[in-house]
Amino acid sequence: MKIALRQKLSCVMVAACLGSVAALSASPVLAEAPAQQKTQVPGYYRMMLGDFEVTALYDGYVDLATSLLKGMDEKDLQSLLARMFLRTTPGVQTSVNAFLVNTGSHLVLVDAGTAQCFGSSTGHILENIRAAGYRPQDIDTVLLTHLHPDHACGIAQNGKMAFPNVTVYVGKAEADFWLNPANSKTVDASRQGLFAMAQAAVAPYQAANKLKFYQQEDALLAGVQVIATPGHTPGHSSYLFTSKDQSLLLWGDLVHSHSVQFSHPEVALEFDSNQPQAIETRRKVLADAARSKLWVGGAHLPFPGLGHVRADADSYAWVPIEYGPIRSDR
């Protein structure tokens, strides 16, 4: 009896399996995979700094020509880039980043990207602010590291304020240089447009009395210290945010090429207004950041541009942040 029952159950199971196979074989077969999406995730990344929430924002990228890097033999330069598997044609893809810091009392944007100044590969700060859960009108303070167009153009859209409720702060030495029309006559023709773009970006804020100039020793906001980092531009500034026992230095344009300038801080950029001073500043800040184990955020480091500087013998290395949960004990 038991043997007969087992045989019957076996037959039923075999029949069921055969029926399933038949049903599968009768199902339509896809001729091809669904269309490729070809879109990237929204460009923001979040971390906590003590009680401060820091959101890195991706504006896009520019192709940085290797000829702009000065002070290294071309063969050695190409070798360093090849070690990082970086393409060099039409240039090295270089991120443009900004940073949004929610201190609990203020929502602070450090640099603002390019808006329409650099073409379609950039200009995505506003959409990524929204993707990150904020609105442009929520921001009350903009701190500019300097007035180059990839940092300042984004504060304006079509001649109007992109951030209607902010006060824009820029160092007085920086403003004195870029906002004086006479100074554009002291540089070659290829750089004169930089002055016009800087002046156009700040114009609507000047008209509304929302553009403020500070001296390096001035206190702007609680938990924020201005750090003088001249050389790339005459009044280039960095901003040190501190909450509890953690600090983050948002250093603007101290490094343009992570594959070259950490290991060789003596390599300058053609657009540095004072190359020897820019090199001296970079060496000092890299040493301070490594010694103090600061978090740092760079405008042209690979997105999200957050991480640490490690001292390696007589040079330095970039240690990027790892993706992970948003917590204050990193």
Which of the four pLDDT bands, split at 50, 70 and 90, describes residue 25? low
Q: Which residues contact 257 (CB under 8 A, 6 or more apart)?
A: 64, 69, 92, 94, 267, 300
CA atoms of 130 and 288, how far apart (whole Å): 34
Homologous superfamily, domain 44-320: Ribonuclease Z/Hydroxyacylglutathione hydrolase-like (3.60.15.10)
In this model, does residue 72 exceed pLDDT 80? yes
Burial classification of residue 31, based on how many CB atoms lie within 10 Å of its CB (0-12 exposed, 13-18 middle, 19 or more buried)? exposed
Closest CA to 60 of 259, 323, 297, 303: 303
Give the pLDDT confidence of 267-308 residue by residue, as tens digits.
999 999 999 999 999 999 999 999 999 999 999 999 999 999
With 90 as the cut, is the pLDDT of residue 318 above it? yes
* Arithmetic mean of pLDDT over the chain: 91
Above 50 in pLDDT, residue 200? Answer: yes
Confidence at residue 313, expressed as pLDDT on a 0 to 100 scale: 87
Map tokens 């209607």 to a residue: 164
Helices (H) and strands (E) in the chain, counts: 8, 17
pLDDT at 20 over 90: no
Q: What is the pLDDT of residues 140-193, one digit of tens each?
A: 999 999 999 999 999 999 999 999 999 999 999 999 999 998 998 888 887 889
pLDDT tens digits, one per residue of 77-126: 999 999 999 989 899 999 999 999 999 999 999 999 999 899 899 999 99
The pLDDT of residue 163 is: 98
DSSP 61-119: EEEE-GGGEESS-HHHHHHHHHHTT---SS-EEEEEEEEEEE-SS-EEEE----TTSS-
Q: Which residue has the higher pLDDT, 318 or 18?
A: 318
pLDDT at 30: 66
Whether the pLDDT of residue 7 is over 60: the answer is no
Question: How many Å apart are CA 141 and CA 270, to the nearest integer?
Answer: 31
**How far apart, in whole angstroms, are the C-alpha atoms of residue 297 and residue 251?**
6
Domain ranges of the chain: 44-320
Please give the pLDDT value at position 2.
46
Percent above pLDDT 90 for the chain: 80
pLDDT value, residue 5 = 45
Residue closest to 310 by CA, chosen among 248, 263, 278: 263
Q: Which helix (H) or strand (E) holds 160?
A: strand 160-161
What is the 8-class DSSP label of residue 255? -
98 contacts 125 by C-beta, under 8 angstroms: yes
For residue 105, what are the contacts with CB-CB under 8 A and spacing of at least 6? 221, 222
Q: What percent of the chain has pLDDT over 70?
A: 90
